[in-house]
């Protein structure tokens, strides 16, 4: 099987960043290639055409609709993610019925109020937690690709934490302000602190490049689909 492209349709706000980075890492972990609309900076083309091009190039679409609800009164709902999901479903229905689509949300059943047309479609819930995210991604990959051996989500999260340490070292080498965490005794607390620190510094496109280097250099074992 050749390299599988995955179109990731998700929010880009700071609070969502940990989930976005988890999605990108997991995509590389299973030997796929993540495609995000921020990858293409050609100002000579309108954004929707860039997105359609990414959808055409991808064999998998992962869509997170967890930000479609307005944050406060008189705010507008964020409809970009449901809109791009609709384009991808249309592509699957009328162009490529072999395309695989996974829909994510942070809370169960909420989508039914804003996307009732998806009633009866399984929506995977990540609860804004990396471990929960890996759990639903792992189950989906096993189901869709008939994988017989893939580590438990907790083991995948442990490997992801190791990746954090590797990334912190790379960021320090390049002048990022990584805070000293030696005063923290509990490993989990130390990892969390490092994670929050670099997550504010690094851009999504940079994160993609670091993940690519990490796996290409043999630092992380890739699951073969």
Residue 41's pLDDT band (cuts 50, 70, 90): low
Which residue did the predictor score with more confidence, 66 or 92? Answer: 92
Cα–Cα distance measured from residue 17 to residue 25, given in angstroms and rounded to the nearest whole number: 12
**Whole-number Å distance between alpha carbons of 65 and 202:** 24
pTM value is: 0.86
**Mean pLDDT to the nearest integer, 158-187:** 76
Distance CA 201, CA 197 (A): 7
What average pLDDT does the segment 9-38 reach?
A: 92
Paired strand residues for 100: 60
Average pLDDT over residues 99-111: 84
Tokens of 57: 């190039």
Read off the pLDDT of each residue in 74-88 and give the average, rounded to a whole number: 76
Domains identified in the chain and CATH numbers = 4-216 (3.40.50.10140)
**How many Å apart are CA 27 and CA 223, to the nearest integer?**
10
């Amino acid at each position: 099987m050749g390299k599988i492209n995955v179109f990731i349709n998700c929010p880009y706000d700071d609070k969502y960043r940990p989930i976005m980075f988890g999605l990108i890492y997991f995509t590389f972990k299973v030997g796929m290639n993540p495609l995000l609309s921020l990858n293409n900076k050609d100002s000579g083309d309108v954004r929707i055409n860039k997105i359609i091009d990414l959808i055409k190039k991808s064999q998998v679409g992962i869509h997170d609709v967890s930000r479609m609800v307005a944050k406060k009164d008189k705010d507008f709902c964020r409809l970009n993610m449901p809109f791009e999901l609709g384009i991808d479903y249309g592509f699957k229905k009328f162009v490529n019925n072999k395309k695989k689509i996974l829909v994510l949300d942070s809370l169960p059943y909420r989508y039914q109020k804003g996307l009732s047309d998806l009633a009866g479609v399984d929506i995977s819930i990540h609860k804004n937690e990396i471990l929960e995210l890996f759990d639903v991604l792992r189950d989906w990959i096993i189901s869709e690709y008939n994988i017989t051996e893939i580590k438990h989500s907790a083991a995948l999260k442990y490997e992801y934490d190791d990746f954090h340490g590797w990334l912190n070292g790379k960021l320090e080498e390049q002048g990022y302000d990584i805070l000293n965490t030696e005063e923290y005794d509990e490993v989990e607390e130390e990892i969390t602190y490092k994670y929050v620190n670099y997550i504010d510094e690094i851009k999504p496109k940079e994160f993609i490049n670091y993940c690519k280097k990490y796996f290409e250099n043999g630092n992380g074992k890739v699951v073969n689909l």
